[in-house]
């Protein structure tokens, strides 16, 4: 495992080498005068929004890459020491370029465009406008927005999952005191999410903020361009692609419908037509869902089953003893 020599037993399985050619991607040689990048490894999770963004960039640039899936589901592999040493933020994705570690998705996609040949995602003459839209997307608190859109049992389960994550981090802190500072930051982050779940006013603010951004996109696209910056696909469109797809999934589909925001709907349709979209914006397959969530579900239902019968048998014995 690239993280450390003693972490192989803890590391998740690796993907196959992946490469998707789109547009005029070219070979994986450096495009900015530096030495060519020989080895690219992405630590990611299939449904992670930021992982999707980076996979889109790899696809659009035609980069050959190796993948390591980090299970950020109930297993919380991103909390394990081997990954904490690789990415102290305890999030995915993490990109390795010949041993250099990049952990911020915004920086990663910019670096991929600069270091690899192919159609430029950030054309020099449009850099300021492209990065304006990239930064606008980066400021949207999608994690918090996804959380407040969860309702009923799903919301309760998510809160329960946060509590279990908190307990796991405390155990890891005791076992690996050298990572105490890293884990303390994650605990503070979990506390903020828990507080958000108790703040209806902040929930409404987040939804209003998302609607305002959709209004801004609609107004801008109504000016007549095919994409956010002119008629060519850029990093601005790439950065927004997984966000728009996720908003559609978490309750904003009507807000993006053609009768509500026609220019936004037409733009999103163009994004979905790109080969990179179908390859890199995906949900879990059945086998992946069973692999990542199956043990947790089985353990949970087994515990409920045992408790149920313990209560039933206990009541039975108690009633029998009273006779």
> How confident is the model over 281-320, as pLDDT tens digits?
877 777 766 776 666 666 655 555 556 666 766 666 666 6
| Strands of 66-69's sheet in order across | 66-69, 40-44, 94-97, 100-102
What per-residue confidence (pLDDT) applies to 80?
A: 97
Q: Are residues 202 and 294 located together in one domain of the fold?
A: no
Domain contains 147:
yes
- Let me know if residue 38 belongs to a domain: no
Do 213 and 154 have their domain in common?
yes
Same domain assignment for residues 290 and 268: no
Do residue 174 and residue 270 come from a single domain?
A: yes
Q: Does 203 map to a domain?
A: yes
Lowest mean pLDDT among 23-27, 44-48, 90-94, 219-223: 23-27
Residues 166 and 265 in one domain: yes
For position 18, what pLDDT does the model report?
62
Q: Averaged over 184-196, what is the pLDDT?
A: 96
Tell me the C-alpha distance between 281 and 51, whole Å: 9
How does residue 36 score in pLDDT terms, banded at 50, 70 and 90?
confident
134 vs 21, residue with greater confidence: 134
Q: Supply the range of the domain harboring residue 256.
A: 138-275
- Same domain for 295 and 269: no
198 and 318, same domain (yes or no): no
Q: So what's the pLDDT on residue 60?
A: 96
Question: Average per-residue pLDDT in the chain?
Answer: 86
pLDDT for 222 equals 97
- pLDDT at res. 304: 55
Q: Is residue 206 part of a domain?
A: yes
Phi-psi region of 196 (alpha: psi -120 to 50; beta: other; left: phi over 0): alpha
Q: Say if residue 20's pLDDT is above 80.
A: no
Band of residue 29 on the pLDDT scale cut at 50, 70, 90: very low
- Whether 4 maps to a domain, the answer reads no
Question: Residue 268 burial (CB < 10 Å; 0-12/13-18/19+)?
Answer: buried
267 and 143 in a common domain: yes
In terms of Cβ atoms closer than 10 Å to its own Cβ (0-12, 13-18, 19+), residue 289 is: middle
193-219 burial by CB neighbour count: b if 16+ within 10 A, else e? Answer: eeebbeeeeebeebbeebeebbeebbe
In a domain, 83, yes or no: no
pLDDT for residue 53: 97
Cβ-based neighbours of 111, under 8 Å, separated by 6 or more: 95, 97, 102
Residues 210 and 305 in one domain: no
Confidence (pLDDT) at 4:
34
120-134, 156-170, 292-306 — which is least confidently predicted?
Answer: 292-306
User: Domains in the chain: how many in total?
Assistant: 2
Mean pLDDT confidence for 162-181 = 96
Q: What pLDDT, in 10s, does the model give residues 113-125?
A: 999 998 999 999 9
When pLDDT is cut at 50, 70 and 90, the band that residue 73 belongs to is: confident
Instruction: Outline where DSSP puts E strands in the chain.
Output: 40-44, 66-69, 94-97, 100-102
Q: Are residues 270 and 295 in the same domain?
A: no
pLDDT at 11 > cutoff 90:
no
Judge if 270 and 177 occupy the same domain. yes
pLDDT of residue 314: 65
Question: What band does 280 get if pLDDT is binned at 50, 70 and 90?
Answer: confident
Asked if residue 87 has pLDDT above 80, the reply is yes
Which of 275, 296, 312 is the endpoint of a domain?
A: 275
Query: Within this chain, do residues 238 and 301 fall inside the same structural domain, yes or no?
Result: no
The DSSP 8-state label assigned to residue 38 in this structure reads: -
Weakest mean pLDDT among 32-41, 134-143, 268-277, 298-307? 298-307
Phi/psi zone of residue 273: left (φ > 0), alpha (ψ -120 to 50 degrees), beta? alpha
Question: What is the rounded average pLDDT of the residues 53-73?
Answer: 95
Q: How far is CA 150 from CA 91, 156, 189, in A?
A: 21, 9, 18
Any domain includes 36: no
More confident site: 311 or 244: 244
220 falls within a domain:
yes
Q: Find how far residue 155's CA is from the centre of its chain.
A: 18
CATH number of the domain where residue 200 is located: 1.20.1050.10
């Amino acid at each position: 495992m690239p993280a450390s020599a003693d972490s192989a037993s803890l590391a998740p399985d690796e993907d196959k080498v992946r490469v998707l050619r789109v547009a005029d991607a070219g070979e994986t040689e450096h495009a900015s005068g530096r030495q060519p990048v020989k080895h690219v490894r992405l630590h990611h999770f299939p449904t992670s929004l930021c992982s999707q963004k980076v996979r889109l960039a790899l696809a659009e640039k035609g980069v050959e890459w190796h993948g390591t899936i980090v299970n950020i589901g109930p297993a919380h592999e991103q909390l394990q020491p081997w990954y904490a040493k690789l990415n102290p933020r305890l999030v995915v994705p993490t990109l390795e370029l010949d041993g250099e570690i990049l952990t911020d998705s915004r920086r990663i996609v910019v670096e991929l465009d600069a270091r690899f040949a192919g159609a430029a995602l950030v054309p020099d003459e449009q850099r300021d406008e492209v990065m304006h839209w990239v930064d606008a997307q980066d400021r949207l608190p999608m994690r918090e927005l996804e959380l407040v859109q969860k309702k009923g049992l799903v919301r309760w389960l998510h809160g329960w999952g946060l509590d279990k994550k908190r307990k796991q981090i405390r155990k890891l802190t005791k076992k690996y005191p050298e990572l105490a500072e890293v884990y303390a930051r994650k605990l503070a982050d979990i506390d903020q999410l828990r507080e958000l779940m108790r703040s209806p006013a902040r929930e409404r603010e987040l939804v209003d903020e998302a609607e305002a951004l959709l209004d801004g996109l609609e107004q801008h696209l109504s000016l007549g361009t095919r994409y956010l910056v002119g008629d060519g696909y850029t990093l601005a469109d790439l950065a927004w692609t997984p966000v728009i797809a996720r908003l559609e999934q978490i309750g904003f589909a009507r807000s993006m419908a053609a009768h509500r925001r026609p220019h936004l709907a037409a733009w999103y349709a163009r994004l979905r037509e790109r080969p990179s979209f179908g390859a890199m914006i995906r949900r879990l397959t059945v086998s992946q869902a069973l692999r990542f969530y199956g043990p947790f579900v089985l353990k949970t239902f087994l515990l409920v089953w045992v408790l149920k019968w313990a209560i039933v048998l206990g009541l039975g014995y108690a009633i029998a003893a009273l006779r």
